Structure 1
Amino acid sequence: MSARVAAEGRPSPAFARVAAEGRQGPASVSVIVPVFNEASTIDALQDQFDRIDFAGSRCEVIFVDGGSTDGTRDRVRAPYRLIDQEGRGRGGALNTGARAAEGEVLFFLHCDSVLPEGAFREIGEVLSRVRVGTFGIRFSELTPVLMLCQVMSNLRVRFRHISYGDQGLFVERDLFFKAGMFPDVPLMEDFQFALNLKRLGEPIGMTRDRIRTSARRFPNGEINRLRTWVSMARLRSRYVKGASPEELALVYGNVR
């Protein structure tokens, strides 16, 4: 049984139950996807969930819309949920989804992400050891700068326990709220949440397989991509030294 079967009219509970062989995933998972003008990506993500192996977990998918004007809202199909964002920025969208979620595990995912096979089994494996985890990342394009960026991102998780939003963070529900949720700021919400987890002494585990994400936040051209990567690193450094998210957002530009 898949979520597509549920969408075609068969009765379904609050979570779509899916049978799986081998190691099971977590008992129940809420996948939370913030969207803003994602008409070009949302169908592909829903297609993934139509055919994905949920590894025995009960799963719901929640799209949190931040005011799309390109038809994104009309493309969300049953059994997936669409709710309106409260608060500002990506952090506000993620928190809105978390408050509405029913799952024991909250899985925050970008709309342009492609999950590996066995993603939910891997989530279960990581959460059998720690209370929060993330996927290793790889970009849909493989250029020297992007390859370096993904290597450094994966090393950062392994050795510093810092994960960013495009890596697919998953966390036990009670720990998420204990850590204070994502701060309602225009930038650095994922970075600050990771810092909050570190202060609580919660290490971030990482899956064996990688999530694939687009390089759309990077401009074309290797020199431009390198400049963007360096600029992001400088923004994080300034944030750690006390710069406000509002100030940094003005430098970063379009943070959606």
Structure 2
Amino acid sequence: MKQNKSKTISILIPVFNEEAYLGKLLKHLKLNSTTKNVLEVICIDGGSTDKTISIALQYGTTVVHSKKGRARQMNLGAEHASGEILYFLHADTYPPKGFDRFILEAIEQGHQSGCFRMQFDTKNPILRTFAWLSRINHTLCRGGDQSLFIQNGLFNKTEGFNEEYLIYEDTEFIKRLYGQTKFKILPDHVITSARKYREIGWIRVQFHFAMIHLKNYLGAGPDELFQYYSKHILNP
């Protein structure tokens, strides 16, 4: 790929006690970026009490300190970012080789925002089926585990993530993006951890996530969604 010197990428990773995953991800990013357009990696820490911060610093990552809350953390990270493209990534999600090139190509083709398809790190057939649905370009098939790239200018124009949402912030934001831009689903896959499904049980988690989607569709606000999540998934 001919390098596009006019576009740089800031990778933004919200973290909270992610010592088990963060080092693997940061190493993965270095090994799998294929251009020189990745300007910086920023970890936005929500008050970790483990080795998350020291691991981030060990890999030369910029650390920004924030109050806990993924929407708040990601917005703060965007404020500190210098790249023209923001790439939001969870600490347990691994993008494909050449992810930066794929993002740059999508931007060059006129797509201001988008994500990758997703696969779970499990052979569970039900979860693999749900992951397969991530190729469908519809808001019902979107989620933060698929990662998100967006031009910095569009992020500012849309005022970023709604910090009233303590969960569902990715989906709420992406729904707004669908109304303002042609959202792009890249054909390659990120690999994301199924740890929550393994810890709690995939039937329970998938059922309650479906209920959260339904509640949102029926008009439930951010407080009601978080209360449901806290009761059934966070503290089952």
Same fold (TM over 0.5): yes
Give how far 1:153 is off: 2.6
- 2:185 is aligned to 206
Mapped partners of 1:27, 1:126: distance in 2: 12
Once the two structures are superposed, residues 108-144 of structure 1 have per-residue CA deviations (whole angstroms, 9 ceiling, x without a partner) of 0011111211111111122223110101100111211
State the percentage of identical aligned residues: 30
Give how far 1:24 is off: 3.6
Q: What code does the residue aligned with 1:247 have?
A: E
Aligned to 1:232, the other structure's residue is in SS state helix
CA contact (8 A) 1:122 1:208 kept: no
CA contact (8 A) 1:161 1:198 kept: no
Q: Which stretch of the first structure deviates more once superposed, 77-86 or 64-73?
A: 77-86
- 2:228 is aligned to 251
- 1:239 is aligned to 216
Q: How is 1:32-47 mapped onto 2 (pairs within 5 angstroms)?
A: 32-47=12-27
Mapped partners of 2:115, 2:175: distance in 1: 15
Give how far 1:52 is off: 3.1
Q: What code does the residue aligned with 2:94 have?
A: V
Mapped partners of 1:125, 1:180: distance in 2: 25
> Cα gap change, 1:30/1:123 in structure 2, threshold over 3 Å: closer, same or farther?
same
CA contact (8 A) 2:26 2:59 kept: no
Q: How is 1:15-94 mapped onto 2 (pairs within 5 angstroms)?
A: 22-24=1-3, 27-76=7-56, 77-86=58-67, 88-94=68-74
- Residue 178 of structure 1: which of 151, 157, 161 is its match? 157
TM-score by length of 2: 0.89
Give how far 1:187 is off: 1.4
Q: How is 1:106-125 mapped onto 2 (pairs within 5 angstroms)?
A: 106-125=86-105
CA contact (8 A) 1:113 1:212 kept: yes
- Residue 166 of structure 1: which of 138, 145, 159 is its match? 145
- 1:135 is aligned to 116
Aligned to 1:180, the other structure's residue is in SS state coil
- 1:154 is aligned to 135
CA contact (8 A) 2:75 2:161 kept: yes
TM-score by length of 1: 0.82
Q: Which has the larger Rg? A: 1
Which of the two has greater helix per residue? 2
CA contact (8 A) 1:162 1:204 kept: no
CA contact (8 A) 1:33 1:63 kept: yes
5+ residue gaps, structure 1: 1-21
Q: Does 1:228 align with 2:209?
A: no
Once the two structures are superposed, residues 222-255 of structure 1 have per-residue CA deviations (whole angstroms, 9 ceiling, x without a partner) of xx31332122122112112221212211221239
Give how far 1:28 is off: 0.4
Give the number of aligned pairs: 228
